[in-house]
């Protein structure tokens, strides 16, 4: 397994819709193993394929559900269903490995269910209401649609987020990826 560089806001891969996985190959299995390794190295709640420069419609997750139980897995070709009211808690900051070191209150549905398949073709259903997992499921599927959580922010928060991104100087340094083995997210 390999820790892959994580794409940063401004990278083309983060704005493109992904392609449906039609066949699980050895290459795809390696990608998923590397994504777990990368997510773990970055202490992430989840990681979508575009965040490591891949266009496949899949993500990995490793985070607690509403009961505090750590949930970990992979979902290929996820279909998202949101439920419960939309919640915006000013105290809960949503972050993203592709916007390292930043976090902003983001409105999300209280609950989410994702259906898809695993690497062996078995049906996968992942559901949570009120936990980090519910937010992560919505967040990762957004990545697969070519969207970042920054796109969901209220206008004033979005401006604040874009100013923070600019202040980090990633564009000025032509920095489009970061390596979690070498840098902490806050230091990128």
140 assigned to active site? yes
- pLDDT value for 171: 82
Q: What is the pLDDT of residue 150?
A: 96
Structural domain includes residue 170: no
CATH for 89 = 3.90.45.10
Q: Which of 37, 102, 140, 160 is the catalytic position?
A: 140
Report the 3 state secondary structure along 49-104: HHHHCCCECEEEEEEECCCCCEEEEEEEEEEEEEEEEEECCCCCCEECCCCCCCEE
Residue 29 lies in a domain: yes
Residue 174 in domain: no
> pLDDT tens, 5-60?
999 999 999 999 999 999 999 999 999 999 999 999 999 999 999 999 999 999 99
Domain-embedded: residue 75: yes
pTM for this prediction: 0.95
Binding-site annotation: residue ranges: 96, 139, 143
Structural domain harbouring 39: 4-164
- Domain total of the chain: 1
In the annotated binding site for Fe cation, the residues are: 96, 139, 143
């Amino acid at each position: 397994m390999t820790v892959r560089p994580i794409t940063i806001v401004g990278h083309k891969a983060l704005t493109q819709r992904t392609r449906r996985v039609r066949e699980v190959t050895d290459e795809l299995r390696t990608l998923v193993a590397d994504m777990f390794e990368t997510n773990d190295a970055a202490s992430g709640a989840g990681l979508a394929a575009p965040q490591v420069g891949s266009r496949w419609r899949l993500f990995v997750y490793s985070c607690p559900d509403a009961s505090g139980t750590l949930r970990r897995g992979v979902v290929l070709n996820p279909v998202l269903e949101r439920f419960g009211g939309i919640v915006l808690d000013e105290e809960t900051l949503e972050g993203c490995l592709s916007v390292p070191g930043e976090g902003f209150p983001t409105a999300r549905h209280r609950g989410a269910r994702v259906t898809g398949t695993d690497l062996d073709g078995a049906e996968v259903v992942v559901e949570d209401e009120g936990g980090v997992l519910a937010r992560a499921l919505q967040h990762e599927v957004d990545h697969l649609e070519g969207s970042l959580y920054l796109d969901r922010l209220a206008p004033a928060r979005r401006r604040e987020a874009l100013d923070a991104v600019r202040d980090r100087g990633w564009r000025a340094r032509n920095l489009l990826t970061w390596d979690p083995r070498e840098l902490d997210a806050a230091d990128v």
